[in-house]
Amino acid sequence: MEINILEEFFNICDEKVFSCINCGVCSASCPISNFMEITPQKLIFFLINNKKEVLEKNTIWLCASCLNCQARCRKSIDFSKVADALRHIYLKERARKKLSLELEIDKIKREILIKSPQQLFIALQRKFAYY
Amino acid sequence: MKYLYYPGCTLKTTAKVFEDSIKEVSKILDISLVELNNWYCCQAIYTSLNDNPSLLLGAIRNLIETQKEDDKLVTACSACYNVLLRSQNTYFKDEKLRVRINAYLEEELKREIKIIHFFELLEEKIDVLNSLIKKRDYPPLAFYYGCLLTRPKGIALFSNDINPQRFENFFSQLGFLTIDFAFKTRCCGSYLTYTNEEIVKDCVDKIILSIKERVNNSCVILTTCPLCQFNLENYQKDYEVFYFTQFLLSLIKGE
């Protein structure tokens, strides 16, 4: 089944992505955009052109909701909400196809798991879980 | 003064030193903190999807527990502060979502609860603190704010999200040298430490580099957030990282 990414997106998120003027201040202010396969600005551009590929990029998993881009955005678009919604769509698709989740808990280093605050771990799980 | 207090899960376990120091400092300053009845997880991070009211339930339930006794709630963990504040904001702004959230609850949240950060209580007591401090010959202090107390703009504790000054003012009034550095509100990488360690290393490196630009030799990094504290301490060895209350307590004790 082909999914219509824009339709799915607006079902669960009301960020006004169409008001994006593609200025790129989000990509410039993102502290980790150099690790992303496509920058936040490009991701929004792909999304409004209804490209399903946005779900395959690591960008949606790397956004840690620090809101630096939202504070800079001229159009007050909250990219963290866009990423949250796309993650959710991706996980829903996988759940529908009965595939396991992306997150592999076993691969996390044990010493980090023991020392880290559990709030951090819950945050991770919440970003990777399908509700 | 008596305040209701929401500790959150982290302050009870991995950030135990933070809670212990908060309790001791508040005892010394005559602030009585009463732990909230039946508190539980605030749900760790704020996420909002229109079709899913359950994402905000944890925070709202804590606030409902609060409204039974008081209309103020004190918390010290940056993450809890951020989640409680934003969840409440969404609850009162988004009417459709509110109706759906209420369907899960036995009771409604009737009025807005004032969420107070422990730092705000200390600001009021600065004169008392000033007279208590025994040791002042410390290296300069670098205060790392992180993202949770400074954003989203408009509702966060600090109104300036690029160069907040409240902690600097606070500590310079106590007679300490503070330094301004470029990346004091930049993301530390948060939970990516589990999945993409190299990203957190990169983020922490940049933060430390921006501190190094401003100090000659040693300095002390202070923070309010257990998440930032973990990342900053785990991925660099140049500077010590303390919670601000932990630091204050050591000053009062003169250690």
Write the CATH number for B185: 3.40.50
Banded model confidence at residue B1, pLDDT cuts 50, 70, 90: confident
Residue among B54, B193, B199 whose CB faces A116 most closely: B193
**Are A55 and A114 part of one and the same domain?**
no
Low-confidence ranges of chain A (pLDDT < 50): none
**Are A20 and A52 part of one and the same domain?**
yes
Residue B107 vs residue A131, higher pLDDT:
B107
Within-domain flag for B128? no
| CA B220 distance to own-chain centroid | 18
Structural domain of B199 = 134-253
- Looking at the complex, report in whole angstroms how far the Cα of residue B130 sits from the nearest Cα belonging to chain A: 32
**Are A57 and A88 part of one and the same domain?**
yes
Within-domain flag for B11? yes
How many pairs of residues across A and B have Cβ atoms under 8 Å apart? 134
Residue type, A4: N
Residue B125 has pLDDT above 70, yes or no: yes
Residue B120 has pLDDT above 90, yes or no: yes
Which of A75, A62, A77 is CA-nearest to residue A127? A62
B154 close to A (CB below 8 A)? no
B161 close to A (CB below 8 A)? yes
Which of A55, A126, A25 is CA-nearest to residue B48? A126
Residue A3 vs residue B21, higher pLDDT:
B21
How high is the pLDDT of residue B138? 87
**Are B41 and B144 part of one and the same domain?**
no
Show which of B94, B119, B144 is a domain's final residue: B119
Count of CB atoms within 10 A of residue A51's CB?
A: 14
Residue among B45, B49, B198 whose CB faces A123 most closely: B45
Banded model confidence at residue B213, pLDDT cuts 50, 70, 90: very high
The verdict on a CB contact (< 8 Å) between A66 and B191 is: no
- Residue pLDDT, tens place only, A31-44: 999 999 999 999 99
**Are B195 and B241 part of one and the same domain?**
yes
In this predicted complex, what is the ipTM? Answer: 0.90
Residue among A14, A64, A71 whose CB faces B50 most closely: A14
Answer whether the bond into residue B152 is a cis peptide, omega within 30°: yes
Residue type, B212: K
Within-domain flag for B125? no
Question: 3-state DSSP call for residue B184?
Answer: coil
Structural domain of A125 = 100-131
Write the CATH number for A84: 1.10.1060.10
Residue among A71, A85, A124 whose CB faces B153 most closely: A71
**Are B85 and B7 part of one and the same domain?**
yes
Residue among B8, B77, B187 whose CB faces A31 most closely: B187
Within-domain flag for B58? yes
Show which of B119, B149, B173 is a domain's final residue: B119
- Residue pLDDT, tens place only, B128-180: 999 998 888 889 999 999 999 998 988 899 989 899 999 999 999 999 999 99
**Are A15 and A34 part of one and the same domain?**
yes
**Are B213 and B161 part of one and the same domain?**
yes
**Are B103 and B169 part of one and the same domain?**
no
- Residue pLDDT, tens place only, B33-57: 999 999 988 888 898 787 788 889 9
Mean pLDDT estimate for chain B: 92
Q: Are B142 and B220 in contact (CB under 8 A)?
A: yes
**Are A85 and A111 part of one and the same domain?**
no
**Are B146 and B113 part of one and the same domain?**
no
**Are B107 and B157 part of one and the same domain?**
no
| pLDDT above 90 coverage of chain B, percent | 76
**Are A36 and A81 part of one and the same domain?**
yes
**Are B100 and B200 part of one and the same domain?**
no
How high is the pLDDT of residue A93? 86
Find residues 36-95 of chain A whose CB sits inside 8 Å of chain B.
61-62, 64-68, 70-71, 78, 81, 84-85, 88
Domain tally for chain A? 2
Banded model confidence at residue B217, pLDDT cuts 50, 70, 90: confident
Which of B167, B173, B169 is CA-nearest to residue B127? B173
> Mutating which of A60, A120, A128, A130 best tests the B interface, going by the most B Cβ atoms within 10 A?
A120
A113 close to B (CB below 8 A)? yes
Within-domain flag for B179? yes
The verdict on a CB contact (< 8 Å) between B227 and A120 is: yes
Q: What is the mean pLDDT of residues B73-78?
A: 94
Domain tally for chain B? 2
Q: Are B174 and B126 in contact (CB under 8 A)?
A: yes
Which of B81, B13, B68 is CA-nearest to residue B36? B68
Within-domain flag for B232? yes
Q: What is the mean pLDDT of residues B9-14?
A: 90
